[in-house]
Amino acid sequence: MAAKILVVDDEPQFERLILQRFRRQAREGKYEFLFAQNGVEALDVLARNTGIDMVLTDINMPKMDGLALIGQIREVYPLLKAVVVSAYGDMKNIRTAMNRGAFDFVTKPIEFSDLETTMEKTLREAEVLRQVEAAKELAEKNEKLQEIDQLKTHFFTNISHEFRTPLTVISGMAEQIGENPERWLGKGLAMIRRNTHNLLNLVNQILDLRKLEAGKMPLQLIQGNVLPLLYYLFESFHFLAESRDIKLHFLCSESKLVMDYDPEKLLRILTNLLGNAVKFTPEGGEVYYQVDNVADCLQIRIKDTGIGISEEQLPFIFERFFSGPELPSGPAGETEEHQPLFGGDRDPFRSPLAGGPASAGDKAKKRPAASNTGIGLALVKELINLMDGDIQVESRKGQGATFTVRLPIRREAPLVARGEDIPAFLRVEKMMSAAPIAPPAQGVVEASIHAELSELPSLLIIEDNPDVAEYLQACLEGRYQLAWARDGRQGISLALEQVPDLIISDVMMPEKDGYEVCETLKNDERSSHIPIVLLTAKADQGSRIEGLSVGADAYLEKPFDKQELFVRLEKLLELRAKLQERYRSMENLEAPGQEGASPEAQFILRLQDAVKVNMEDENFGILELCRAAGLSRTQLHRKVKALTGRSTSSFIRFIRLQRAKELLRSTDLNISQVAFEVGFKDPKYFSRTFQEEFGEAPTQTRR
């Protein structure tokens, strides 16, 4: 393809000379020349012709000289190369031209072989620059495509979670009702209805967004008093807010406001905004819902005292696929109290909440669980644009958020009859499908634990969805002592405090996700032995591999099969029993620091060394071993019990008796001396416990 060259010179003779000298190259398709007589004409030619490869320009011309032209080219066409043609000796202008961005220069009178050489060099440089720029643009496009792909992947992962989580409850509770309708019919149907509502609302949002994309969502305007609809929404959300100890205030400066509005779309907008305000506000917080007529616009302001939005996230919150802020557990990042599902007075998994109402401090710490799909605010923005309105947001991290919607007040649509400001079809079907349904208050399922349940294995559920947690409780009650943590941070805290026998954790949670929970607990000596089952809607192989790589012992997809859950948990307990058999005798354990030594083996050996160092001290007991291990009494008991099957006191006694056995076989000390040597005050008690542990009397061991 011919290289396009723009020649700018006010002498007609120069144009004829160029055409004559390069006639053959032009005929062969090597060059194509365009001409202008000054800088102004040159800029016009550049504007009307794409793909010009270089400019050959004189300096002294009328209207706009070559120096000014070069400056314009550098600013508007940064990749376009210019060569200056100037009289020999005019070095001042040549230097100025080079400083302004000229690539090269040729002096008059022109030596055309030199000119062609300069042109070829310039065209090669221009081609290199074009290739570099093309590669840069391609890289930027690829980066943008990858970013969009990642956002979409994140979006569909979240959508998968949003679908699979309610499906877990729906399918699970349907099974529970089938097995025991008398017990589960009422509560099960309520949970199924609530989660079906959540699914329907999510599907409606996706469909609405698709309709807006396709331009197939017309406005269905009516003219009427908009305030009844706005107040209806306040009443709908009031119950939800109250159930979470959030104060919802409705402030309105108007007694009546007649305007054109689309009830269904206005409902969708405000349901999303009010829902987010309640969702991201901790218990004990406040939400203000204010309605005004400002400059012939309906202004709706929704302000909350929630977690706020960071400055980095604010520009993107209305973009599709953007998932928004994660939820902290409280105003200052505190962890909330754990919530037991099943417990009693002596149950270490029992929450302080079981004994009575929560204190104000407890309430301030709690907040509702939530997840974010990246649909809601994008849909809100699109719907407001459709109604010729605008939306603004003000927020600072940790200081709440304020969303302000403005819709123009017009009165052109058909006027509805009085009393029909909320159309009947909306009042029933649409309102019920969009307005929130509050889950019942979560509390202790039973106030006390049955005696026969006290020996059941303890199991911690870490799950931010109350319905899923309650369904797990329905499956597992009677098999395990259960406790519930509402997010990853609480789960870690409770696991380290109480050291349960098993943990079931969701993956997608606020604060810390299931992977972080697993990695943290598996790398902490207090909890490294606890089997962890990751329960998640993230069903792809990469997520499964990630879960196993951070130490998860099992991985179950939502919705899960109840029987598979039972088998997984039972197998994990069987594996722990085999571990106990190995550690119970404390033989053939790897030395601390030895390559391949497990954290559990090193822990047992450190405890063993602590007892041996204090072997002769008859007062060295549980409290002293707790201090040596740096663990609480409960933590040490549960860890030792899980690894050896022994209580802490039995563990200490066994190490003493094991040492006694060695002394009986290797020394001439009598029975009483051996007993005193290993910390027993009473030789008779020593002989009895020795017999119970090893199945033979000390005298028989000596023989």
Say if residue 253 is exposed, middle or buried (CB neighbours under 10 Å; 0-12, 13-18, 19+).
Answer: exposed
pLDDT for 512 equals: 85
- 533 has which bridge partners? 504, 554
Asked if 83 and 57 touch (Cβ cutoff 8 Å), the reply is yes
Q: How many CA atoms lie within 13 A of 147 on its CB side?
A: 9
> In CATH, what number does 599-702 get?
1.10.10.60
Rounded CA gap, 192 and 467, in Å? Answer: 9
Helix (H, G, I), strand (E, B) or coil at 532: strand
Q: Where are the domains of the chain?
A: 3-110, 219-327+369-434, 451-580, 599-702
pLDDT band for 594, please (50, 70, 90 cuts).
low
Asked if 173 and 194 touch (Cβ cutoff 8 Å), the reply is no
Domain 219-327+369-434 matches domain 451-580 at the CATH topology level: no
**Residue owning tokens 């406040």:** 286
pLDDT band for 596, please (50, 70, 90 cuts).
low
Residue 321 has pLDDT above 50, yes or no: yes
Asked if 112 and 21 touch (Cβ cutoff 8 Å), the reply is yes
Tens of pLDDT along 124-178? 888 888 888 888 888 888 888 887 777 676 666 667 767 877 888 888 888 888 8
CB atoms within 10 A of CB 222: 19
Rounded CA gap, 161 and 463, in Å? Answer: 13
Across the range 13-27, mean pLDDT stands at 86
- 261 has which bridge partners? 222
Region for 644 from its dihedrals, namely left if φ exceeds 0, alpha if ψ lies in -120 to 50, beta otherwise: alpha
Architecture of domain 3-110 in CATH? 3-Layer(aba) Sandwich (3.40)
pLDDT for 388 equals: 94
Tens of pLDDT along 554-585? 888 888 888 999 999 999 999 888 878 878 77
**593 CB-near residues (< 8 Å, 6+ apart):** 602
pLDDT for 324 equals: 55
Q: Which of 404, 403, 414, 422 is nearest to 227 (CA)?
A: 422
User: Is domain 451-580 annotated with CATH 3.40.50.2300?
Assistant: yes
Give the pair of three-digit tokens for residue 193. 């209805």
Q: Which of 194, 366, 191, 205 is nearest to 271 (CA)?
A: 205
Asked if 68 and 100 touch (Cβ cutoff 8 Å), the reply is no
One-letter amino acid for residue 411 of the chain = R
Residue 342 has pLDDT above 80, yes or no: no
Helix (H, G, I), strand (E, B) or coil at 511: coil
Give whichever of 111-120, 341-350, 444-453, 638-647 has the largest mean pLDDT: 638-647
Residue 250 has pLDDT above 90, yes or no: yes
pLDDT for 541 equals: 67
Say if residue 51 is exposed, middle or buried (CB neighbours under 10 Å; 0-12, 13-18, 19+).
Answer: exposed
pLDDT for 421 equals: 53
Rounded CA gap, 601 and 591, in Å? Answer: 8
Give the pair of three-digit tokens for residue 381. 């923005």
DSSP E strand stretches across 380-501 = 390-395, 401-408, 458-462, 481-485
Q: Domain 219-327+369-434 has what CATH class?
A: alpha beta
- 248 has which bridge partners? 287
Asked if 234 and 289 touch (Cβ cutoff 8 Å), the reply is yes
**Residue owning tokens 């033979």:** 696
Q: What is the mean pLDDT of the chain?
A: 80
How large is the greatest C-alpha to C-alpha distance in the chain, in angstroms? 128
